[in-house]
Every structure is written in structure tokens, then in C-alpha cells.
Structure 1
């Protein structure tokens, strides 16, 4: 599957890095360096682990929790983070930053308000994909925007030909954009509200594959019958 996917066009890093089948960048957007400097300071103050996404690589600073950093690869299936002393000083200009902590209440009640203020001052926005994760990315960007950019390149009409699958808050706009938006059984309330169809099956139970089997032809069949 990895080899097949490597030969396909893709929308990565929450729509911030989009490439065609040859790896040519179709669209990308990055955070200003000032946002990384301020974010790294906030992460240190709240003892949260911070990583930065850049193209197909992930960077971390040496202050990160080793267990959480290991989970980036072992649980999320992402590349092993590249350690640097400071993301702001030693890393590239990042597409997005991710903050991780097992203290869910702290992330939600204490850290997120500060990140929201930081985002407002730096042309960015804050979202979440898991209760233990916060993300900051350039304002106006989303998976939906990245998917639309790729569809435009491929000549695909999202409103008639796109099937989207999701389970998190950051999937909301993409689910709304698609002809058919499908929320997994484990999806957040935000994702479920945005979807056209809600599965019983979760992501870990093969919900994505089941959705593709059940609904990938539905849009075209409806067009044929109209």
C-alpha cells in the first residue's frame, strides 16, 4: 500500500502540502517564523511536546517527551521525528506545528486559549485531531482547501465526484466539501455533524475501506439516474 500511495497525487499536512503523482508541489503554505518562536515558548511553559511538519519530514526539539515522540511513528505511522535543539532556530519554516500532552484538561482549558491568541497575531488558526493534540497552521488553510486545489489540478468536481472520509474536528470542511462525506463510527461530534453518512464501524475496524466499497460509485450512479 505504501508503494502504491507513493505513486499517487496527495494532500498532506492538513492540506498545507499538496503534490501531483510526480511529486511536483501543487500548493503549499507555511507558518511565519515568528509563530514558531512563540509556539516553542508556550510549549515549554506548559511542559507540552511540540513537533513541526515540513514536507515529508517531522522535527522535534530536545525538550519533548520521548514516549510521545515515539508514538508519532509507532502509533500515528508518521516519520520518526528529527531532533534539533530548537525548532525556531535549527529547523526549516514549518507548514504546521503540533502540541502533544496527556494532560487533556490543560491543553483544552489553559494552553488552547493562549495558542488562539498567538494564532490571531500571526495569521494562523488552531484546531485539534485528538484530545491529546493541538495544532496551529496558517489561517484559511484546511484539508478541504488542499483537496480542492488537487481536484482542480486533476479536473475533478468535488461536488459531484469526491468521496471524503474523516473522524476528527479538522476533517469538518473536507466532509462538507465532498459530494459524499462519511464520518467513521469513532468520529468527533463536529465531524459527524458535517458528514452526509455516519458509519457504525470505526477507523480501526476498517471503516475507511468499507466506506469506499459502499459509496465510491454512489455519486456517479445518482448522476446517471437524474
Structure 2
């Protein structure tokens, strides 16, 4: 897949997820958004921390492997370097999310994995399974204290914690959307922020010429 085509397809996928989240948030009644606010905040912080750990470990693994690969369609090292210069938390992790999605874009479009993905995928899957295993107790506690029940959702998380297929990566990437669909009051940071800026043509720096 050509780099430009790969980038465009990735942007559309991520931006669509982000637009779906915005519509869901606007449609939520106020009483849903405010429900269990004191419980929601620590749960959101825990979920974000665990979710971000996967982004960080995968990107660092890819960064270390990239110089040794001859992969013309792999993401350029300059984007990893730009990530290091970002101070704002949401900007940093929306950029990390985009880089993570780029690394895994062949899986999302059912293409053959490139050299970089083949090398990072085994460790990445372990990190994602650990994420689902660790996030489950936090959500279980939240549901219990807020007197809610999401049996199918929690069953899926349990299954994903032991999933070995490549679809595991998609479950992870879509998790912010899935979580807000199930529990709208648990609003994570906007991981699609950079992708939406790119699609709207308002991204700055090296991302403006992607």
C-alpha cells in the first residue's frame, strides 16, 4: 500500500471513530453525564493510565527496531522525534495513538503486515492482553459502586484478555469508543484529536505535510 493511501485510509478510520464519540457525547442526557461523577474520575484516570502504557511500550519498541529495518512504507523516525517534543498530555497521547494506529494500519485494512509490524506485533499483543486484564477490575469496581450492569461488555473484556488473533489490536484501538458507548460518563481523553486535525487540514509542524 502506498504511503499516501495508507495515511488517508487511517485518517478516515480514526476520524470516524472520533466523530462517533462526539455525537454520542452530545446526545447523552445531562443526568447520564453527571451520574456517579465522583466514581467516574478515578476510573477514567486508571483506564487512561493503562491504555497509555500500551501506546508507550509499543511505540518505544518500534522506535528501537525501525533503524534496523529497510521498510520504505514504515512511518518515518521524525514522527517519533516529534512525539518527544510534545508537552500537553492529550496532544502527546493523541499523537502516540496515531503513530500506534499507523504501525498497525495493515491489520486494520486486512493487508499483509510490513517488517516493522511483524517485529512489534508479538510484544504488542502481550501488552494489549495485559491492558484488558488490568482494566477489568477497575471497571468491575466502578459498575458495582455505581450500581450498573454491563455483562456482555465485561465478558468481552475477559475474552480479549486472552485473545491471540490479530483482531485484538482493533479491539484495543476501538476501546475508547466502546467504553463510551457502554458507559458514557467515562469520557477518556480525545485520542483521535490529531487524526481529526489532519483530516481537517489544521495540523501543524511535520504533521501538516503528512
The two structures have a TM-score, normalised by structure 1, of 0.32
Larger radius of gyration: 1
More helix by share: 2
| Greater length-normalized contact order (CA 8 Å, ≥ 6 residues apart) | 2
Instruction: Decide which structure has greater strand share.
Output: 1
TM-score, normalising length: structure 2: 0.34
